[in-house]
Structure 1
Amino acid sequence: MSGRTVTSLTNPTVKAVRALHQRKTRDETGLFVAEGLKNVTEGVETGHAPEILLYGRDAADHPLLQAAAQATHEAGGEVIEVTAEILAKVSRRDNPQAVVGVFPQVFTPLTALQPRLAKAWVALHRVRDPGNLGTIIRTADAAGCGGVVLVGECCDPYSVEAVRATMGSIFAVPIARAGEAEFAAWRRDWPGSVVGTLLSAEVDHRSADYVHPALILMGNEQQGLPPDMAGLCDVNVKIPMRGRADSLNLSVATGVMIYAAS
């Protein structure tokens, strides 16, 4: 497998990849880090070639790595063999993955989404936790949702933590971003139901009349849906709590709603 070998932690490429843990650097470069051969392979198989591919010697002979390296070369990217120490520094983990890819971020314009291509879609208002966001993207992929719309100031779907939680689905699910006013204007032409979740709602999530395509609008972890966002919904529903807990984790609640609506 052709490519160069790097052993120094001060190598400029290594430092550039490490810097992608910072949102400012990701925003400036439009790049992100995907760790692990599974994630990198998901990217390659969905048509996303790495700009930089780092790998440890132990992974060199794996056919999936060789396919990723070929895709990287064909796209004009760099393939670099690195030490375990470099992989640990790049991933900031004691037990790093043997393969790390650097990919371009992809955001789909809100106006380019085609609602009728899927039964269910997800919109998240000011989601704060990257683990929740990544898990929701993975669940949306598993359930065949059309995409995920991030409304207002949300955490970064291309942070290392969010990408880890997607388990490769970051490459498969269209992601759009919108301010509150832009989302409200776009929502007016939504051809199906817009459904929110509220603790104060009276309609059970299992008995709501979902008109496909259903757009599931979820609030953030601390405050849920604020009144202006709840007001954009055709119906607000509740997921019943049967124990002492008064609410579900956001990613779990979104998963429940995705399958109820689809």
Structure 2
Amino acid sequence: MSETRRAAEGRVGQVKEVTSLANPIVKDIRALALKKYRDVQGAFMAEGLKLVIDALDLGWTIRTLVFARSQRGNATVEKAAARAKAAGGLVLEVPEKVLTAITRRDNPQSVLGVFSQRWIPLKDIRPASGDVWVALDRVRDPGNLGTVIRTVDAVGAKGVILVGDTTDPWSLETVRATMGSIFAVPVARADAAAFIGWHKAAKMRLVGTHLKGSVDYRAPDYAKGPLVLLMGNEQQGLTDDLARACDTLIRIPQAGRADSLNLAVATGVALYEMRRHAFPVTQGKAG
């Protein structure tokens, strides 16, 4: 929702009961299912109480919290609503049919939040020794992108850089796949030329996965300097320009009939190998 519209309606920090799908506020939220409206509004939806609480805990700007009427009296939901109000957001109480329409799911979560998008400028990434970033060249599948973001969070890598024309990290499908990690993992974007220029200026070691890579992914010493793991498009792999920009091209051996791994799986395999070399040993959670 635009700030102008918010101010005009005088609804900051309010609680409002809405029952109609024709309500203009509901229409604005439903429009966020489309990328062009997410871009215009600079906003996105996160579905589920856990994701909303994660975002609030990490200081994200909430614009609207929507909860099902059936959750009235639920102490955890009401606490989240109070936090949203205190942060200046609008709180909507709606029947389930409205949540179903917004999320386009027959069994929607009982709570969703609308948050402001947050991008980190590529120029602001100043890697330190031991840092690992993941760059994705033209990733197209929302599930893959969401799973990579979740894996980056689990491994303890620093963030994700989207290169070229990629799927939208703020789509509802991608946000769902991150399981809340979208709020913990910085995301940057750049075209290929800008990314290559940044990599050279930052003096980061660029390691790309490639079917023609001559180096087994377990062979390099990843402890040397900050790293960027560069993963190619699901169908086409890396562009020639990006492959040439890599300091090392690695491959993940295939023992069976499959000639490649799913992008998110391959990213996880490579990242955990890098973690053994480059990341400090910490006492983390199992699983």
- Using the size of structure 1 for normalisation, the TM-score is 0.96
Task: After TM superposition, give the deviation of residue 161 of structure 1 in Å.
Answer: 0.6
Partner Cα separation in structure 1 for residue 211 and residue 129 of structure 2? 30
2:266 alignment partner, one of 246, 250, 253: 253
Task: After TM superposition, give the deviation of residue 121 of structure 1 in Å.
Answer: 0.8
**Is 1:162 matched up with 2:174?**
yes
**Is 1:98 matched up with 2:110?**
yes
Task: After TM superposition, give the deviation of residue 118 of structure 1 in Å.
Answer: 5.4
8 A contact 1:118–1:145 mirrored in 2: no
**Secondary structure, aligned partner of 1:54:** strand
Partner Cα separation in structure 2 for residue 11 and residue 206 of structure 1? 56
**Secondary structure, aligned partner of 1:76:** coil
What is the identity percentage for the equivalent residue pairs of Structure 1 and Structure 2?
51
**Secondary structure, aligned partner of 2:59:** coil
Query: Which ranges of structure 2 fall in alignment gaps of 5 or more residues?
Result: 1-13, 276-287
More off after superposition, 70-79 vs 251-260: 70-79
**Is 1:233 matched up with 2:246?**
yes
Q: Which amino acid aligns with 1:37?
A: L
Q: Which amino acid aligns with 2:194?
A: E
Match of 2:27?
Answer: 15
**Secondary structure, aligned partner of 2:167:** coil
Match of 2:64?
Answer: 52
**Is 1:199 matched up with 2:214?**
no
Partner Cα separation in structure 1 for residue 75 and residue 127 of structure 2? 38
Partner Cα separation in structure 2 for residue 117 and residue 212 of structure 1? 5
Deviations 1:159-216 (A, max 9, x none): 1110110111111100001111111110103344210011111211011122242110
Match of 1:77?
Answer: 89
Partner Cα separation in structure 2 for residue 67 and residue 142 of structure 1? 28
**Secondary structure, aligned partner of 2:220:** coil
More off after superposition, 233-242 vs 59-68: 59-68
1:127-206 alignment to 2 at 5 Å?
127-206=139-218
**Secondary structure, aligned partner of 1:14:** helix
Q: Which amino acid aligns with 2:162?
A: L
Q: Sort the Cα spacing of 1:54 and 1:185 in 2 relative to 1 into closer, same or farther, 3 A.
A: same
**Secondary structure, aligned partner of 1:116:** coil
8 A contact 1:131–1:162 mirrored in 2: yes
Match of 1:25?
Answer: 37
Partner Cα separation in structure 2 for residue 72 and residue 117 of structure 1? 38
- Using the size of structure 2 for normalisation, the TM-score is 0.88
More off after superposition, 137-146 vs 202-211: 202-211
8 A contact 1:52–1:102 mirrored in 2: yes
Aligned length: 262
Match of 2:226?
Answer: 213
Q: Sort the Cα spacing of 1:49 and 1:59 in 2 relative to 1 into closer, same or farther, 3 A.
A: farther
Q: Which amino acid aligns with 2:171?
A: S
Partner Cα separation in structure 2 for residue 58 and residue 135 of structure 1? 31
Partner Cα separation in structure 2 for residue 85 and residue 71 of structure 1? 25
Task: After TM superposition, give the deviation of residue 29 of structure 1 in Å.
Answer: 0.4
